[in-house]
Structure 1
Amino acid sequence: MTVHAGSAHSAKGWAVRDDGFPATLVDAVARNAGEAGGRVAFRERQYGIWREWSWSEVRDQVLALAAGLDAIGLERGHALTVVGDNRASIYFSMLAANALGAFPAPVYPDVPVDEFGAYMRFGNPRLALAEDQEQVDKLIDLRARTGQPEMILFDDRRGMAAYGVDGILPLDAVREKGAARLKAEPGLRADLSGRAKPDDIAVLLYSSGTTGMPKGIPLRHRNVVGGVRNAEAGGYFGRHEELFAYLPTAWVGDFIFTLGAGVLLQATINIPERQETALHDLREVAPTFYLAAPRAWDNMLTRVQVGMADSTPLKRRLFDFFMPRAIAHERNRLAGERLGLSERLLDLVGEALVYGPIKDFLGLSRARRAFTGGEAMGEETFLFFRGLGIRLKQFYGQTETCALSAAQTEGAVKLHTVGRAMPGTEVRVDDNGEIMLKSESVIDAYYDDPEASAKAFADGWLRTGDAGYLEADGDLVVLGRVSEVVRTAAGERFIPNFIENRIKFSSYVRNVAVFGTGRDMLTAIVCIDYEAVGHWAERRAITYGSYAELSQKPEVLALIEGVLAHVNTMQPEGLRIRRFANLHKDFDPDDGEITRTRKLRRAVIEESYATLIDALYGGAASVTFEATVAYEDGTRGVLRRDLAIREVPA
């Protein structure tokens, strides 16, 4: 269903679609203020105290900011660059931009200034909003290089008092200017409330840029509203959820699952004080809906394991008794088996003694809906959390689809699939094995990129670039990127990412790159998970002083060897990993090895580690690897590391 600018207006003034949903996010704010004005909409922890805004107060904040942004030159169709961590004022400003027919273009906070220009190519971003002094400095540097942005707004005043730079303005001043305009201009409030249209861009996000310059991905209001509507119809979202806003604002998961769903479904959006306190704040909030990437769930599992190792002997014995049984019970449930009376009673006792306290420790005691997506999740981690009673499920989507395409439903969860298409979404697989999608949540085209758009979109269908297949019951299996289907020297087809995800099922592996294109065997460069392997080493009295030293310990090499040997048991004979090396560091987005969303840039890795890759195939037992290091003062040095190369036994 596509609803265009001529949407009907309700009797109370906000535009609605023919399915009753608000036509835009701005209309949703107006509806929420009109129907549930006193309900808590946003909560943000500041100096240890939770500050609250009702929906009526959110509407007033958004309109005041919109009037202020309008006064300083934010125009319809233009971008407002946004950079910083989650803040209520940043969310209000994003909605205020929407009220003007403009759109926010959020950027990851850790993007260095040298790369920043790639995220300001579209929408004439004359204005930028920075969270704090660190991001303001970055934007000032960028302006000196490129002339943009002309005006820099900032939220956090700390450290900003002494800045004698033109074109810098506190966000509070913009809000005050807007509030004064609303008082002085009687018709302005109604004008601002009605400017946003369903075809307007709600947010401009960017692709990961694994193979080149990131593409601009414009999500329009009708895409966001349609996607959230589909997800609610399938039971994936509920009304009045408690949400936890900790995901990067530049990731589609935050805009859709936090801001979009939060506004459209009248949720309460809880914002941590800062990223360093997020785990503590999560426990205070205890959200009813929680989304995290597989690696974040792995980190949670590691926290539990580390905590249990340091707890009392009684707690360890209870954990060691109940958790294996909980995982076994969950595996049986997923296989369609009914638990007997004794097993159900054991689960009740386990809930009281073990599962409940762990969920409370993690802040997930109220999580009715929990999801993971973005890449495959390890079976061990998936079953652990479901064994605790957290109904964790996989979902599948891309930024181009508002991240809402397919997901698992309770009672039909399989370990190897991502579930079935959401209501209102069509899925098919073409003759080349590529997954194709059609839905109201799918964008029409990339921003100002007709060539890329022509390749990706045809007759309303999106070519996802993912390889996969549909099972007989409609469940979708995702194998990896179509572009990554390669062959060994013997002609066997494989997708490196599919094998890499299987390896990363282990909590001891943070990142891995698999090689073998045109070669007679597969090899791998492994980046250990420093926290998980470090804890494993400490329990065995293995001393180390750094990541590099830990990675080369014989015991750690044997540990990773075992991980790879286990994965090999699931691989055909010709696609088993024969040799590997533990890298002295993790792959780093600042080195260009992975994207900000932690996807491998294979071309960069193959070039940067050519010496190591040659050694993996050359039969050497070790290699001296030289890496160029860039220091903060701009100077460069060379770091030499001796890296061991190990065989993976049959």
Structure 2
Amino acid sequence: MAPTQRDSIIDRFQQHRRIRPAAPAYFEKIGSAWVPTTWEAYTAQVRTAAKAMIALGVAPGQIVCMLGFNRPEWAIGQLAAMMIGGVGAGIYTTNSPSEVKYILGHSEAPLIILENESQWHKVQEVRADLPHLRWAVMMRGTTVDDPMVLTWEAFLARGAAIDEAALDARMAAIEMEHLASLIYTSGTTGPPKAVMLSHHNLASTAYHGQALFKLTPNDVLLSYLPLSHIAEQMFTIHTAATVGFAIYYAESMTQLPDNLREVQPTIFFGVPGVWERFRNRVGERLGEAHGARRRIADWAQTVGRRVVEGRNHGQEPSGALAVQYRLADRLVFSKIKPLLGFSRTRVAVSGAAAINKDILEFFSGLDVTIYEVYGQSEGCGPTTFNRPGATIFGATGQAWPGSEVKLGPDGEILLRGPNVFMGYYKDPAATAETLIDGWLHSGDLGRFDEQGFLTIVGRKKDIIITSGGKNIAPRNIEAALKNVSLVGEAVLVGEGRKYLCALLTLDPDAALRFAEAHGIAGEDLHTHPLVIEAIQAEIDENVNTQFARVEQVRKFTLLSKPFTVEGGEMTPSLKLKRKAICDMHLDEIEEMYEAE
């Protein structure tokens, strides 16, 4: 059903207890086995947690924070908070104590649910500055000796003091336009803003996602990206509650490849960095093939790309191509996809940042279609989405169902619809700047083709204005630089300068292969002449030839270390912090312009 006054995520969630009580709602890896929890048990867990929150004094409209890797307790906390008329808010596991303090202070949360002792230490360090925080609940397996802290079992036991009627009364008072979730943006500049999403926002987006990809209770998702991010939260919690499919909780990021092979999910969401790592691993394996095996692999990839290209336009293979596809599947696809964990995957998605078109085309050669999505937390996740039968690699798809997307006079992408947020929590000024007459002003620049497919040009605030007055969007130039075989990340610089330069990092795997191939050992690769020459040659041949002279990269500096979240160069959702990176490397930037 489309969302109505009585069709919230919580309403849908509880329906599965009646419809499919014995079906698995989620799986956890315990020992060597994936152990299921039924919808009957899952619903009971959420209701018990909700009653425990009432017992601990959490009032309607108050915020409950979660800080931990993807686990059932995270989803239980979010749903329980929503169930009592409260609000769920996630904190990234990589956040520092000061960042944790900011979110807990800004939200005035009385309760936080924590994964382990190391996350508790962050709270413990700043608790004196958090007068509103009364309770810390540890997820299963951790005990902390502190009056503020409850074990998971002790927390649930508090729910016994509250009867079911009191919980039902809380739920009955929920309106679809009430606040349900806060998404704290990962903040490329300044402190994070808190995006307010209503019950209607979440219900509408999940409903259209179910319809767009024809999701069913037989689908399976592996949950591993931060639940603090709207995309993972939408898939793992809100869409799962809407559809009734089962969630497998990954053990950790390092165990992701093994978990993927074990689960073989039908739905998989990845950020570009995840897809790039998969591509590199498979590319290495394919590169090891020789002779007839190599020729078969190359042929199969050509067939796969042709089939996927047709499917992207709504055409199934027929005739000779259908015969070739069946043979390619038997010889290649059916062997490679299970090794990755994609033997059953029918909905593969990339989002949160731009993905290189070459990666999409590479996977199409393995009979895996990756649907790129563009959006932001303020739009509940999706603004435009590629979809089965309507996909163009390199574009971010057509408008999300039920919404309107248009360009402003300066090319800014504007969104209106039921997925558009309520505003920023405690920040009316920022809300007024971003939400104008019901239209979400994204801050991104784009262009549409004649079929309504959106291509992202860049961000308004990232536009570089050279000393000659030329406006340059760095996005496409940086994407071309990242195509250079040795390059990991690229940041274009040139504001107020005569020409463009770039800060580059090495791709660790590619650098290692290069070093082995050229007999380089025990040296700093980022300063090695052979590495510099190889990168310069590719920039001259494959990057600068794509762009007008004013857009060409005249110089670059290869940095000694990759960009990381811990180093402060990336957000927890792996977006580059441009200003921070440039501030850290002012000397290197000035050196490139010394002879200007």
Shorter-normalised TM-score: what interval? over 0.9
Give 2:419's match in structure 1, choosing from 441, 445, 448: 441
For the residues of structure 1 that align with 2:379 and 2:491, how far apart are their CA atoms? 28
For the residues of structure 2 that align with 1:596 and 1:190, how far apart are their CA atoms? 37
For the residues of structure 2 that align with 1:20 and 1:563, how far apart are their CA atoms? 55
Displacement of 1:189 in angstroms is: 5.0
Match of residue 233 from structure 2: 255
Match of residue 234 from structure 1: 212
- Tell me which amino acid in the other structure corresponds to 2:177: D
| Contact 2:407-2:446 at 8 Å conserved across structures | yes
Match of residue 88 from structure 1: 72
What does residue range 229-378 of structure 1 map to in structure 2 within 5 Å?
229-235=207-213, 237-309=215-287, 315-316=293-294, 318-324=296-302, 326-327=304-305, 341-378=319-356
Match of residue 590 from structure 2: 614
| Contact 2:444-2:457 at 8 Å conserved across structures | yes
For the residues of structure 2 that align with 1:68 and 1:558, how far apart are their CA atoms? 63
1:587-622 C-alpha deviation (Å, 9 max, x unpaired):
2333332222222322222222111001112259xx
1:320-343 C-alpha deviation (Å, 9 max, x unpaired):
453355446656876999978554
Unaligned stretches of 5+ residues in structure 2? none
Match of residue 552 from structure 1: 527
Match of residue 565 from structure 2: 589
Give 1:391's match in structure 2, choosing from 357, 363, 369: 369
Match of residue 169 from structure 1: 150
Match of residue 473 from structure 1: 451
1:81-100 C-alpha deviation (Å, 9 max, x unpaired):
21110001221121111111
| Contact 1:393-1:408 at 8 Å conserved across structures | yes
Displacement of 1:508 in angstroms is: 3.9
For the residues of structure 1 that align with 2:8 and 2:485, how far apart are their CA atoms? 41
| Contact 2:84-2:167 at 8 Å conserved across structures | no
| Contact 1:379-1:505 at 8 Å conserved across structures | no
- Tell me which amino acid in the other structure corresponds to 1:68: A
| Contact 2:484-2:535 at 8 Å conserved across structures | no
Match of residue 567 from structure 1: 543
The verdict on how the C-alpha distance between 1:545 and 1:411 changes in structure 2, with shifts beyond 3 A counting, is farther
Bigger CA drift: 237-246 or 382-391? Answer: 237-246
| Contact 1:223-1:442 at 8 Å conserved across structures | yes
**Identity score, percent:** 27
Pair 1:110 & 2:94 matched: yes
The verdict on how the C-alpha distance between 1:475 and 1:203 changes in structure 2, with shifts beyond 3 A counting, is same
| Contact 1:418-1:475 at 8 Å conserved across structures | yes
Pair 1:542 & 2:519 matched: yes
For the residues of structure 2 that align with 1:259 and 1:450, how far apart are their CA atoms? 28
| Contact 1:288-1:368 at 8 Å conserved across structures | yes
Match of residue 14 from structure 1: none
Unaligned stretches of 5+ residues in structure 1? 1-16, 621-650
- Tell me which amino acid in the other structure corresponds to 2:563: F
**Structure 2 counterpart SS, 1:122:** helix
Match of residue 23 from structure 1: 7
For the residues of structure 2 that align with 1:333 and 1:220, how far apart are their CA atoms? 36
Structure 1 runs (4+) greater than 6 angstroms displaced: 311-314, 332-340
What does residue range 122-271 of structure 1 map to in structure 2 within 5 Å?
122-147=106-131, 149-158=133-142, 160=143, 163-178=144-159, 180-181=160-161, 185=163, 187-188=165-166, 190-235=168-213, 237-271=215-249
Give RMSD over aligned pairs: 2.6
The verdict on how the C-alpha distance between 1:600 and 1:358 changes in structure 2, with shifts beyond 3 A counting, is same
- Tell me which amino acid in the other structure corresponds to 2:531: V
Match of residue 7 from structure 1: none
The verdict on how the C-alpha distance between 1:141 and 1:382 changes in structure 2, with shifts beyond 3 A counting, is same
| Contact 1:86-1:249 at 8 Å conserved across structures | yes
- Tell me which amino acid in the other structure corresponds to 2:526: S
The verdict on how the C-alpha distance between 1:435 and 1:204 changes in structure 2, with shifts beyond 3 A counting, is same
Match of residue 639 from structure 1: none
1:515-544 C-alpha deviation (Å, 9 max, x unpaired):
112212111010112123323433x15344
| Contact 2:502-2:556 at 8 Å conserved across structures | yes
1:131-184 C-alpha deviation (Å, 9 max, x unpaired):
1111111111121454463321111434x3xx4322111111111221x335xx
Pair 1:49 & 2:25 matched: no
TM-score normalised by the chain length of structure 2: 0.93
Match of residue 379 from structure 1: 357
| Contact 1:89-1:155 at 8 Å conserved across structures | yes
- Tell me which amino acid in the other structure corresponds to 2:565: P
Displacement of 1:247 in angstroms is: 1.0
Bigger CA drift: 370-379 or 260-269? Answer: 370-379
For the residues of structure 2 that align with 1:273 and 1:386, how far apart are their CA atoms? 28
- Paired residues in the alignment total 595
Displacement of 1:47 in angstroms is: 2.1
